[in-house]
Amino acid sequence: MDENLKKLQNIFRDILDDENLEITESFSQKDCEGWDSVAMVQIILAVESEFGVKFTTSEVANTRSVSDLLKKIS
Amino acid sequence: MLLHHIGMLAKDLRAEAERLRGVCGYEIVSGEIEDSVQTAKVMFLKLPQTDSFLELAAPLGENSKLARALKTGEKLHHLCFQTDDISADLKNFREKGFLILCEPVAAAAFKDRKIAWVMDSQKNLFELVESGSGELPLKV
């Protein structure tokens, strides 16, 4: 598994409180009921902290999937 | 910044306002104010001799942002701070680990003074409202 994807998986496991969660690049909000707007805030802030990036408000609004997050941090 | 109000969710604004008037002595200082941008309707209460308000908020329509929160049983919802410089304070919140949920937009409850929303990783939700010139108006 790609290192960035692995770090994202750890973030998702922590925030969504599911230690067995397996994510792929195509994993998106529609695949996961727990990935709501509040979880999105936690995920974005955790990604910013982990990868040293900053999302603009429009980038946050347009983030829907793990793929979107990977594009930002790559 | 000054604390302007504490936001609390309610299914029925009028019933909750009357209940809090009876229990705590709140005065009801506004009618129901609808804000389609915020997908909410709100009502303001105030305890005599205090400076800040209690805002009761209910979903406006089935797709309201508040509907899900209300379904989970959440009651206390947010703190709202009055600020002289909403852009500078938003920048400060962003630098201190908050995410901007909503850039400044006109708010029906404050006669189109601007409000913005931020949240941190601990799910603390804060609203900012610009003071503007003169006393902050409250639509009644």
Q: Give the ipTM of the model, two decimals please.
A: 0.86
Task: Give me the CATH number covering residue A38.
Answer: 1.10.1200
Mean pLDDT value across chain B: 93
Choose which CATH entry (3.40.228.10, 2.40.33.20, 3.10.180.10, 3.50.50.60) describes domain B2-130: 3.10.180.10
Q: Does A60 touch chain B (CB under 8 A)?
A: yes
Residues in chain B within 8 Å Cβ distance of A57: 100, 103
Confidence of residue B140 (pLDDT cuts 50, 70, 90): low
Residue A54, in any domain of the structure:
yes
d(CA A46, CA A33): 19
| Helices A66-73 + A3-15 axis angle, to 10 | 130
The span from the CA of B15 to the CA of A34, in Å, is 32
| Chain A interface disruption, residue of B95, B99, B103, most A CBs within 10 A | B99
The structural domain count of chain A equals 1
Non-local (6+) Cβ contacts of B93 within 8 A are B100, B118, B126, B128
| Count of residues in chain B | 140
Q: Tell me, what's the pLDDT at A20?
A: 93
State residue B113's pLDDT score.
93
* Among candidates A36, A45, A57 on the partner chain, residue whose Cβ is nearest the Cβ of B121: A45
Range(s) of the domain holding residue A59? 3-16+29-73
From CA B17, how far away is CA B21, in angstroms rounded? Answer: 6
Q: How far is A2 from chain B (nearest CA, A)?
A: 26
| Domain-embedded: residue A24 | no
Lowest mean pLDDT among A8-22, B58-72, B92-106, B119-133: B58-72
**Rounded mean pLDDT, B119-125:** 95
Give the closest-approach CA distance of A63 to chain B in angstroms. Answer: 13
**Domain contains A21:** no
